[in-house]
Amino acid sequence: MSERIAIVGGGHNGLVAAALLARAGREVVLLEARAELGGLASTRELIPGHRVDVGHNDLGMFRRSVIDELELARHGLELIEAPAAAAVPAAAGSDPVVLWPEVERTAEGLARASADDAAAWPGFVAELATCAATLQPLLSRPPELVDMGRLLISPELLRFLSAPLDELLREWFQGPALRAGLCGQALPATGLGPRANGTGWPLLYGSVLGASDRLAPVTRARGGAGALAAALAASASASGAQIRTRTPVSRILVESRRVAGVELEAGELIEAGAVVSTTTPAVTFLDLIGASRLEPAFVRRLLNVKYRGTAARLALSIDGLPSFRGLDRPALTGRIVLAERASDIERAADAAKYRRLPTRPWIEAALPTTLDPSLAPAGRHLLLATAHHLPFDLEGGWANGGEELRRRMMVELERWAPGIGGLVREQVLLLPTDYEDEVGATNGGLHHGEMNPSQSLWLRPTASAWAGEQLPVEGLWLGGAGCHPGGGVTGLPGMTAAVSLLRG
């Protein structure tokens, strides 16, 4: 049997696995279908002279232990922490809300609109921190059944896992814009409205992995999110890993229920004693292995995975910094949540249920050039407007719906930043179908599987098991965002796959 380890997929999780395994002395070949590495955390020149993050652009959840172990700073990674975590611009009848990582600074700002909300803020952050400390050990390794006791002894934690986020926030705060800002922190790429059960979980997930003792700050890489992939690739290569781009895999080879290697679309066979797949569970098992090799019950489980969390991104090159109502430049460095109240987000989720575009898209905006001017030519800013909670199977199709979505997004941006339309010089729109076609995100889901309690913890695949049962193919390890602990740029699925493989 070959000692080689083949890694399918060159997103950040695949690169983490490659670098860790190569550093441990293993023979590693990483195979990426596309020309660039990074997957949903890649950066492309979609507009001439602009470096546009295709998907994820907040690296605040990426493990600092991995950065240190793989010496990513030495390999060129420079992280920039934004002063602000999130902001909601002013709307008719409401003041702007700015959420800073520092508890006291946020409370001071909230006091201008509501003394009660300001007084409640420290206690809310403290409760998040307490729940995060309980949950943290379960996210850094495959969860075991004995870990369930951690949840049963924490009523607050159980509520975050089961209750609607809007309900939880109403117990703490009066201000609709504050509640909308927190929903905007938690719900991007989930496909869930804040009145759905279990929507407290994404907020808690971000707190555990972002900053357990304060509101998670936004962190960007100088040069764009793709700089993380470049540093990981350099670290892996320095340890001897072979990285091949433009090399799509057509099959994972299986002999007697054990992996034997991979077959490339070009026909080349690569022998391997182990395969780490970082594609979605559906692609790994149904496309690369084949349903005929799997038990019907396992296939049914695969088909039942929900990949909601579809989004579209409108990248705008603009002359100068836009004026979002009531927000100064420091407040524009984090997430900009364009929702007056949680119900705005709920309505977008409702429209998606019926395969329709929302009348008013829910937009999460970012101005990465406020932290890194190198992303755009001198005098320009780059605005990334991401419309969340969209249907992948849009009624009438995206070929017809894309232009209408662009129009509605520009109308919504103009509501919050008057005059922005006149500043736009160039633009490009990435549709949900682009995320599936170009970066392999099944149904355009940015988390490789919806992030809700029914698809998390014990109910999400781990590196070698799913719901307590071993994966049906020996020598196959899962290392993508579709497995534990979940989506976002954390590096944990890739790290867990590598550590599990090394331990055997």
- DSSP state letters, 6-43: EEE--BHHHHHHHHHHHHTT--EEEE-SSSSSBGGG-E
pLDDT value for 160: 84
Can you tell me the distance from the alpha carbon of 130 to that of 127, in angstroms, rounded to the nearest whole number?
Answer: 5
User: Which residue among 384, 413, 439 closes a domain?
Assistant: 439
Can you tell me the distance from the alpha carbon of 129 to that of 214, in angstroms, rounded to the nearest whole number?
Answer: 7
Can you tell me the distance from the alpha carbon of 168 to that of 182, in angstroms, rounded to the nearest whole number?
Answer: 11
- Tell me if 178 is assigned to some domain: yes
**First-last CA distance in the chain:** 15
The CATH number of the domain holding residue 140 is: 3.90.660
Phi, psi of 270 (to 5 degrees): -120, 115
The CATH number of the domain holding residue 283 is: 3.50.50.60
332 in the same domain as 194: yes
Helix 176-186 to helix 200-210 angle (10° resolution) is 70
User: Which residue among 391, 414, 439 closes a domain?
Assistant: 439
Can you tell me the distance from the alpha carbon of 184 to that of 181, in angstroms, rounded to the nearest whole number?
Answer: 5
pLDDT value for 211: 66
Among 277, 180, 228, 207, residue whose Cα is nearest residue 38: 228
Q: What DSSP state is assigned to residue 61?
A: T
pLDDT tens for residues 125-169? Answer: 999 988 888 888 888 888 877 777 767 667 888 888 889 999 999
The token duo for 350 is 């409702």
Determine the average pLDDT of the residues in 88-100.
92
Residue 461: Cβ-neighbour burial (10 angstroms; 0-12, 13-18, 19+): buried
pLDDT value for 213: 60
pLDDT band at 349 (very low <50, low <70, confident <90, very high): very high
pLDDT value for 357: 96
pLDDT value for 67: 97
Domain residue limits at 149 = 86-217+308-439
Peptide bond into 485 cis (omega under 30): yes
| Structural domains of the chain, count | 2
Q: What DSSP state is assigned to residue 355?
A: T
Instruction: Provide the whole-model pTM.
Output: 0.94
429 in the same domain as 334: yes
- Tell me if 157 is assigned to some domain: yes
pLDDT value for 212: 57
Residue recorded with tokens 């690169």 = 15
212 in the same domain as 129: yes
| Residue 389 contacts residue 432 (beta carbons within 8 Å) | no
| Residue 334 contacts residue 184 (beta carbons within 8 Å) | no
Residue with the bigger pLDDT between 284 and 217: it is: 284
Contacts (Cβ under 8 Å, ≥6 apart) of 412: 338, 360, 361, 363
Residue 4 has pLDDT above 60, yes or no: yes
Residue 36: Cβ-neighbour burial (10 angstroms; 0-12, 13-18, 19+): middle
Residue 406 has pLDDT above 60, yes or no: yes
pLDDT value for 271: 96
pLDDT value for 297: 92
394 in the same domain as 333: yes
Determine the average pLDDT of the residues in 189-217.
84
Residue 470 has pLDDT above 70, yes or no: yes
Residue recorded with tokens 């030495």 = 74
pLDDT tens for residues 291-332? Answer: 999 999 999 999 998 887 789 999 999 999 999 999 999 999
- Tell me if 47 is assigned to some domain: no
Residue recorded with tokens 């070698």 = 464
331 in the same domain as 230: no
Q: What is the mean pLDDT of the chain?
A: 93
Sheet with 258-264, side-by-side order of all strands: 249-255, 258-264, 269-271
Can you tell me the distance from the alpha carbon of 165 to that of 161, in angstroms, rounded to the nearest whole number?
Answer: 10
pLDDT tens for residues 209-239? Answer: 876 566 778 999 999 999 999 999 999 999 9
Planar angle of CA 209, 283, 44, nearest 5 degrees: 65
Can you tell me the distance from the alpha carbon of 455 to that of 356, in angstroms, rounded to the nearest whole number?
Answer: 25
Percentage with pLDDT > 70 across the chain: 98
336 in the same domain as 190: yes
234 in the same domain as 150: no
